[in-house]
Amino acid sequence: MKGFKAFLLRGNVVDLAVGVVIGIAFGAVITAFVKDLVTPLIAAIGGQPDFSQMSFTINHSKFLYGDFINAILAFLIVAAVIYFLVVMPYTAMVSRARKEPPPDPTTKKCTECLSAIPLDARRCAFCGQPQN
């Protein structure tokens, strides 16, 4: 029982549980966004986007291929919304936050000939002038 308790209270199990709950809530928000805003916009532009009544029958078996088309379209719309409204902004934010400062320079320019010389050099290797 002690090992099971330790397993349940480990950080990654709790983090995973929180992530699943947040993911489900976020999925509901995205689904509502697609259903209430994006799909009516598509209907306004291209006509009625509901294909659920489309079907064919073979030997008294009804194949509802329209429902399948609706599911594919819903998936593609949800994936596009998540990509453009979540993934792209998040990626841009992370890339801006991770910019590392440039490394310290290892060379300096000679005051006379402007050649690159090591920082600790006392004379330029190209023109022989003393460096400060």
More confident residue, 90 or 31: 90
Which H or E run includes 16? helix 11-33
Domains of the chain, earliest start first? 2-97 (1.10.1200.120), 102-132 (no CATH)
pLDDT confidence of residue 34: 72
More confident residue, 82 or 9: 82
Residue 122 near residue 130 (C-beta atoms within 8 A)? yes
Tokens found for residue 92? 């841009």
* Position 7 pLDDT exceeds 80: no
As a whole number, the mean pLDDT across the chain is 82
pLDDT confidence of residue 57: 92
* Position 58 pLDDT exceeds 90: yes
More confident residue, 87 or 13: 87
- Enter the pTM of the model: 0.49
Q: What is the 3-state secondary structure (H, E, C) of 19-47?
A: HHHHHHHHHHHHHHHHHHHHHHHHHHHHC
More confident residue, 110 or 5: 110
